[in-house]
């Protein structure tokens, strides 16, 4: 009974979230000052067209249609599973999303795992060595990275590794001039190293700082002081007492960081010309491709909601007091 109630509650939350996000995204697109005809056709080309041709283009891009009517028509099709046709790519939105989402997930999963592992290791080391040189170095790194824009870090790495050292490609997800059938898995990994590394670097600081604070609390606990009094080494104390107690909060924080990884991927994909969901979202926004942008917005909201839901579930599993308190029923 409690499980069914919890599932129903989460489904209602997800529905309300998607509805609110879709309304907000549609309103922002409608209020955008970008003229879809000038952005995609050009002022020079429009000047040489007849009024009939311009009218057909306006119908194609939805110019002049009532916003409420357009939204209700889109919502009706979306509920039926029809995301429409991309105005820029002139393909079904589902096909465009499948390709772009696959590239983005490949990039984000690598960055997500790397940021989680490195953030946990650095945070645990800093917490176990509070006040020492390694703790100061980790804190300084985290404060520096957290205050630096992701696109600036991406441009810096692009210049260093792609232009100066020339050891990594400067962009794209596959080699230039190679057919899709000739692209290997290693080619995709090679082209994803730099953007994935940039994404992971920006995501480390949050996990490392939270892990450090939790490790400091654990080190000041009675059972840790007792372990030190028994003469256990630093590694034995961490392995037997610190690891399991700090791992669970770090895991929940890691799933909650999906929204940060996704938001950072938009900027990173633009800098590295990586053909993922973030780059497609920017192109759809600048090109007034309403069907594509709405689909990307909904998928993004689902990914973030799923990450936060998993984090909440893990909190309930870790701490029974949360379940009894009503967070997870």
What is the phi/psi pair of residue 203, to 5°?
A: -95, -5
* Structure token digits, residue 171: 């962009």
CA-to-CA distance for 147 and 165, rounded, in angstroms? 26
Distances (CA, A) of 105 to 51, 250, 278, 306, 312: 44, 21, 11, 14, 22
Residue 220 has what pLDDT? 82
| CATH code, domain carrying 228 | 1.10.3720.10
Both 174 and 61 in one domain: the answer is no
Residue 140 has what pLDDT? 92
The residue out of 79, 107, 126 marking a domain boundary is: 79
Q: Which domain holds residue 130?
A: 93-325
- Is residue 144 situated within a structural domain? yes
Residue 177 has what pLDDT? 66
- Is residue 88 situated within a structural domain? no
- How many domains does the structure of the chain reveal? 2
Both 108 and 215 in one domain: the answer is yes
Residue 24 has what pLDDT? 92
Distances (CA, A) of 153 to 121, 150, 212, 272, 279: 22, 5, 24, 12, 17
Both 75 and 100 in one domain: the answer is no
* CA-based R_g, the chain, Å: 24
Both 8 and 152 in one domain: the answer is no
CA-to-CA distance for 103 and 64, rounded, in angstroms? 35
Both 69 and 117 in one domain: the answer is no
* Structure token digits, residue 22: 């879709």
Q: Which helix (H) or strand (E) holds 138?
A: helix 133-146
Both 112 and 75 in one domain: the answer is no
Both 151 and 216 in one domain: the answer is yes
Both 48 and 121 in one domain: the answer is no
The residue out of 79, 112, 132 marking a domain boundary is: 79
Both 97 and 229 in one domain: the answer is yes
- In three-state secondary structure terms, 92 is strand
Both 131 and 71 in one domain: the answer is no
Both 153 and 97 in one domain: the answer is yes
Residue 180 has what pLDDT? 65
For the chain, helix, strand, coil in percent to 5 are 80, 0, 20
- Is residue 319 situated within a structural domain? yes
Per-residue pLDDT 10s for the chain (329 aa) are 677 787 788 889 989 999 999 999 889 888 877 766 666 666 556 566 667 776 776 676 666 678 888 888 888 888 888 888 887 888 888 999 988 888 888 888 888 899 999 999 999 999 888 889 999 999 999 999 888 888 888 888 889 988 898 888 877 666 776 666 677 778 788 888 888 888 888 888 888 998 999 888 888 888 778 887 888 777 888 877 778 788 877 887 888 788 888 888 888 888 888 888 888 888 888 877 888 889 999 998 898 888 888 877 776 676 565 555 544 44
DSSP state, 85? Answer: B
DSSP state, 42? Answer: -
Q: Are the C-beta atoms of 46 and 54 separated by less than 8 Å?
A: yes
Both 48 and 189 in one domain: the answer is no
Q: What dihedral do alpha carbons 254, 257, 261, 267 form, nearest 10°?
A: -150
- Is residue 169 situated within a structural domain? yes
Residue 328 has what pLDDT? 43
Candidates 277, 240, 270; CA nearest to 172 is 270
The residue out of 79, 103, 125 marking a domain boundary is: 79
* Structure token digits, residue 233: 């080494």
Global pTM reads 0.78
């Amino acid at each position: 009974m409690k499980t069914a109630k919890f599932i129903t509650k989460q489904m209602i939350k997800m529905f309300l979230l998607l509805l609110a996000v879709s309304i907000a995204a549609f309103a922002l697109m409608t209020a955008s000052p970008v003229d879809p005809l000038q952005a995609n056709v050009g002022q020079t080309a429009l000047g040489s067209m007849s009024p009939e041709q311009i009218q057909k283009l306006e119908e194609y891009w939805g110019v002049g249609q009532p916003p409420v009517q357009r939204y209700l028509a889109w919502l009706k099709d979306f509920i039926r599973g029809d995301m429409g046709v991309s105005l820029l790519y002139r393909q079904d939105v589902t096909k465009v999303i499948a390709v772009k989402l696959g590239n983005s997930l490949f990039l984000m999963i690598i960055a997500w795992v790397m940021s989680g592992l490195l953030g946990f290791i650095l945070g645990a080391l800093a917490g176990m060595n509070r006040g020492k040189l390694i703790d100061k170095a980790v804190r300084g790194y985290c404060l520096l990275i957290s205050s630096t824009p992701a696109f600036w870090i991406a441009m810096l790495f692009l210049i260093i590794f792609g232009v100066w050292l020339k050891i990594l490609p400067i962009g794209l997800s596959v080699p230039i001039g190679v057919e899709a059938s000739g692209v290997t898995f290693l080619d995709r990994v090679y082209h994803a190293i730099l953007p994935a590394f940039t994404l992971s670097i920006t995501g480390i600081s949050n996990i490392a700082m939270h892990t450090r604070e939790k490790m400091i609390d654990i080190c000041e606990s009675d059972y840790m002081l007792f372990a030190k009094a028994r003469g256990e080494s630093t590694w034995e104390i961490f392995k037997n007492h610190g690891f399991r107690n700090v791992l669970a909060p770090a895991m929940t924080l890691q799933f909650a960081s999906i929204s940060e990884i996704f938001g950072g991927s938009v900027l990173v994909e633009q800098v590295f010309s990586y053909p993922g969901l973030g780059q497609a979202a920017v192109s759809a926004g600048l090109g007034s491709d309403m069907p594509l942008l709405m689909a990307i917005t909904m998928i993004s909201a689902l990914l973030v909601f799923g990450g936060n839901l998993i984090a909440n579930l893990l909190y309930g599993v870790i701490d029974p007091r949360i379940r009894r308190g009503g967070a997870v029923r």
